[in-house]
Amino acid sequence: MNGKIKVFLGRFLLVCFLVIVFDQAVGRLLNHFYFKHEPVNHNSTTYVANYCDQQVLIFGSSRACYQYISNEIADKTKLTCFNAGVPGNYILYSYAMLKCVLKRYTPKVVVLDIMPDEFKFSQDNYDRLSILLPYYESHPEIREIIGLKSKYENLKLLSMIYPFNSFAIDIISRNLHTNKNEFRPDGQNGFIPLLDTINQPGDKFVNKDYENYKPDAELLMAYNSFIKECISHHIKLFVFISPILDTHLFKNNSIKIASNIALKNKIPFLDCTDQQEFKKKIFFKDFGHLNINGARLYTTEVIRQIKAQSYR
Amino acid sequence: MLFNSFQFVFFFIIVSTLFYAMPFKFRWLLLLTASCYFYMVYIPVYILILAFTITIDYFVGLFLETASVRYKKLLLVISIISNIGILGFFKYYNFFTENISFLINHLGYKAKLSSFSLILPIGLSFHTFQALSYIIEVYRGNQKAEKHFGIYALYVMFFPQLVAGPIERPQNILYQFYEKKVFDPDGISSGLKLMLRGFFKKLVIADRLAIYVNAVYNHPASNNGKSLIVATFFFAFQIYCDFSGYSDIAIGAAKVLGFKLVTNFNNPYLSRNVSEFWKRWHISLTTWFRDYLYIPLGGSRVSTAKVYLNILLVFLISGLWHGASWNFILWGGLNGLYLIFLKITRKFWPLFYRITYLEKIAWLKISLQMVVTTIFVCFSWVFFRANTMTDSFLIFKRMTLLKGELFAGGYTLQYCFLGIFILLLYEIKVEYFKKTFNLFNNSNYLIRNCSFALVIVAIIMLGVFDGGQFIYFQF
């Protein structure tokens, strides 16, 4: 029996050793090529975490990325501006990025664009934190946020490959520059314009859904912490909820909660979900995203708000 | 407990270590306790349902051995009613009440039968069928009734195959619980390798394909024909890798503990016709239906018309077994029709191959047969995956609209094709080039071990770790 156990343990340890060797080798290779490419056009996360130095930063999801024209904000405010919004990533990601930025410098103005249902629980909010995994090693300040992904995340991160899980084709493509569609347009400072217009019959869109949910504690905490970090660093923070095409008969819970917290902390808060001037199809790519026409109009409003608050 | 979770990894290491460290006479108790824990991780109270049916079937089994012919039938009916009754209540009650209400309303009367919102106990259809096969085998006299209550409970609850099979026969597994399992490094290694193959299928292929399939199938109206065709093709491999991956992990886990479970899948997408497909797909269920339904109905020893009717009936019931919805029934019925069509045209095909000279080009003939079989199987999967019946027909309608770009979902499309390519490469090698260069069974221990280490690395690099449950858990 003992002999058999030794044989088995010998085989097992050999496979474990080989896995560790391959993991280290492949992991280092992936790490090298992930961070090798030029950051600003290819990966906004790397740029914001490691390089950006703009005075105005815009955080949020696709609704930030497609709707805030950074160059126009820079022109009108005479401050440099970068749009750090990333599609499919919400308050947890924004908070992590803010923490990375604050490790290096303090921007003057931060705009946080949140979703009308920002605090509604969704497993996706946590799963999508995988975008931050490559930064786990070099940015200890965001480890706590990455830890929210799952309770075994720290264990998984013992692997050198795991942070680049599902990035292999992405890394190859970026380094070979074969697929340029994914890259952000040069000179737009993070903004990605949407050129199409919604193709939906009808003119008025009414949403009668009523959702009464308990806000997700982690998302709420991230929002609170985001505000507190900005206040403690004397950053002028603006919280905006950008326009949507359909009119909601019932206000989403998250809007009320976000507004109350902002009010309590004396943070300018603007909810554009009900603003009638935006409720036209020509301004939208789809129900939740302004196209370039809508983005121009909305950015003017954002600039007006920033200027009004800054000169107060 | 999910196989693809850290919780299971820890659980399995602890159970396996204790199993070999423990004296033989207590091992059944350890496995039964572990199986109860494994099951109770979902909804603990549902263990009572299992306990109820296990108790009934245990005593029915004992009485069946000594009862007269007349009472034997009564006992069999009691057992079948208790097992099918529970399955029917949890799985089919709402389906039947909804349909009866619809029918009554359609006839002009007003009626709304009440429905329940109960969560289906995990793997109910599987352990019900496993329990039924025990009772039927004892009734037929092919199996002696199990005297040890704990061992019988373990037969139904053995954790590797508790929630999604393979559906075991008592002749194959019961005696193994009495065998003293010795620590066998070769057996354990081969079990772990099988588990690794299962994890690769589940995490690298099935869960990746699920991302694409869900994105397209959940919004059929917004997707064009190209995307819907690709998603349907992907779903065929998603469900295969999901379920066969689960079976591999189950069979591998049992093997680590020294138990041999039946093979459940045998490269089904390399089948040359739908009939062969069903001999390679979910083998433990197909043979269950063959032995306990098709043959008792008369099998192939009745008139041609009755044979066709039997085939259709078996497949319709198989569809219903998979889920309480008309989609599943249609899926089963369609596959039954495929088989009937094959039976009707069986004399035509050799002639067709002779006329087209395909008979002389074996590789082309085989490839074409595989492609055509896969197309027919994929066609039926539309009913299986679509969220509603309306969606199924919408998908078929939209499949003809080939204008517009193929939905890519970032790099998901590339990962999906890569996964399917690796799978097919492996299966073609196993099926047709068994004796050529072998990585995983190479005589050189370094090549062999490096191959397994690289599979683990590939899982870490390409696997989806936020994926959900195994699809067949819901059945």
d(CA B458, CA B465): 13
Q: Which residues of B are catalytic?
A: 322
- List the single residue in A with minimal CA-CA distance to B418: A169
**A143-193 pLDDT, tens digit each:** 999 999 888 888 889 999 999 998 888 888 877 765 444 445 567 888 888
**B259-314 pLDDT, tens digit each:** 999 999 999 999 999 999 999 999 999 999 999 999 999 888 899 999 999 999 99
- A11 interfacial to chain B (CB closer than 8 Å): yes
Q: Looking at residue A183, what is its pLDDT? A: 46
d(CA B95, CA B79): 23
C-alpha angle with apex A308: A303 to A312, nearest 5 degrees?
A: 145
Q: Express as a percent the part of chain A with pLDDT over 90.
A: 49
Confirm if B191 and B197 have CB atoms less than 8 A apart: no
In terms of phi and psi (left: phi > 0; alpha: psi -120 to 50; beta: otherwise), the region of A201 is beta
Q: Looking at residue A182, what is its pLDDT? A: 45
Does A130 sit within 8 Å of B466, measured CB to CB? yes
Closest residue by Cα to residue A48 from A83, A77, A73, A75: A83
Closest residue by Cα to residue A204 from A282, A281, A277: A281
Tokens for A80? 């440099």
Of B418, B454, B465, the CB nearest to A165: B465
Start-to-end Cα distance in chain B: 16
* CATH code of the domain made up of A39-151+190-310: 3.40.50.1110
Confirm if A209 and A116 have CB atoms less than 8 A apart: no
Does A14 sit within 8 Å of B6, measured CB to CB? no
d(CA A202, CA B156): 58
Of A8, A21, A155, the CB nearest to B185: A8
Tokens for A232? 């403690």
Size of interface A-B (CB pairs under 8 A): 69
Counting other chains too, the contacts that A295-301 makes at CB distance below 8 Å and 24 or more residues apart are A295/A66, A295/A67, A295/A68, A295/A69, A295/A191, A295/A193, A295/A194, A296/A69, A296/A72, A298/A67, A298/A68, A298/A242, A298/A243, A298/A272, A299/A67, A299/A68, A299/A69, A299/A72, A299/A73, A300/A72, A301/A270, A301/A272
d(CA B34, CA B25): 16
Tokens for B285? 């269920």
Does A155 sit within 8 Å of B184, measured CB to CB? no
Tokens for A173? 């493509």
- List the single residue in B with minimal CA-CA distance to A18: B453
Residues of B in contact with A127 (CB under 8 A): 466
Confirm if B395 and B382 have CB atoms less than 8 A apart: yes
The yes-or-no verdict on residue A38 having pLDDT over 70 is: no
**A91-121 pLDDT, tens digit each:** 999 999 999 999 999 999 999 999 988 898 9
Q: Nearest CA of chain B to the CA of A24: how many Å?
A: 10
Does B453 sit within 8 Å of A22, measured CB to CB? yes
Q: Looking at residue B291, what is its pLDDT? A: 93
Alpha helices (H) in B163-256, listed in sequence order: 170-173, 185-199, 207-217, 225-256
The yes-or-no verdict on residue A255 having pLDDT over 60 is: yes
Tokens for A65? 């990325």
Confirm if A218 and A91 have CB atoms less than 8 A apart: no
Residue spans per domain, chain A:
39-151+190-310
Closest residue by Cα to residue B399 from B250, B244, B231: B231
Tokens 């290819």 locate to A42
Confirm if A51 and A38 have CB atoms less than 8 A apart: no
Please, is B368 exposed, middle or buried when counting C-beta atoms within 10 Å of its C-beta (0-12, 13-18, 19+)? Answer: middle
pLDDT by residue, tens only, chain B of 475 residues: 788 888 899 999 999 999 999 999 899 999 999 999 999 988 888 899 889 989 999 999 999 888 888 888 889 898 899 899 988 888 888 888 888 888 888 888 777 777 777 777 888 888 899 999 999 999 998 999 999 999 999 999 999 998 887 999 999 999 999 998 888 888 998 999 999 999 999 999 999 999 899 989 998 888 888 999 999 999 999 999 999 999 999 999 999 999 999 999 999 999 999 999 999 999 999 999 999 999 999 888 899 999 999 999 999 999 998 888 899 999 999 999 999 999 999 888 888 888 888 888 888 989 999 999 999 999 999 999 999 889 999 999 988 888 878 888 778 899 999 999 999 999 998 888 877 778 777 788 888 889 999 999 999 999 988 755 555 555 5
d(CA B184, CA B16): 12
Confirm if A208 and A249 have CB atoms less than 8 A apart: yes
Q: Nearest CA of chain B to the CA of A34: how many Å?
A: 14
Q: What residues of B are in the A interface, CB distance below 8 Å?
A: 6, 182-185, 188-189, 410-411, 414-415, 418, 445, 449-450, 452-454, 456-457, 460-466
Contacts with B373 (C-beta within 8 Å, 6 or more apart), sequence order:
B271, B272, B273, B274, B276, B277
Does A166 sit within 8 Å of B183, measured CB to CB? no
Please, is B137 exposed, middle or buried when counting C-beta atoms within 10 Å of its C-beta (0-12, 13-18, 19+)? Answer: buried
In terms of phi and psi (left: phi > 0; alpha: psi -120 to 50; beta: otherwise), the region of B296 is alpha
Q: Which amino acid is at B381?
A: W
Per this entry, what is the length of chain A? 312
d(CA A17, CA B435): 29
- From residue A310, give the alpha-carbon distance in Å to each of A57, A106, A234, A235: 15, 17, 13, 11
Q: Name the DSSP class of B345.
A: T
Does A152 sit within 8 Å of B460, measured CB to CB? no
Kindly indicate whether the ipTM for this predicted assembly is greater than 0.85, answering yes or no: no
- State the DSSP string of B313-340: HHHHHHHHHH-SSHHHHHHHHHHHHHHH
Contacts with B151 (C-beta within 8 Å, 6 or more apart), sequence order:
B28, B174, B177, B178
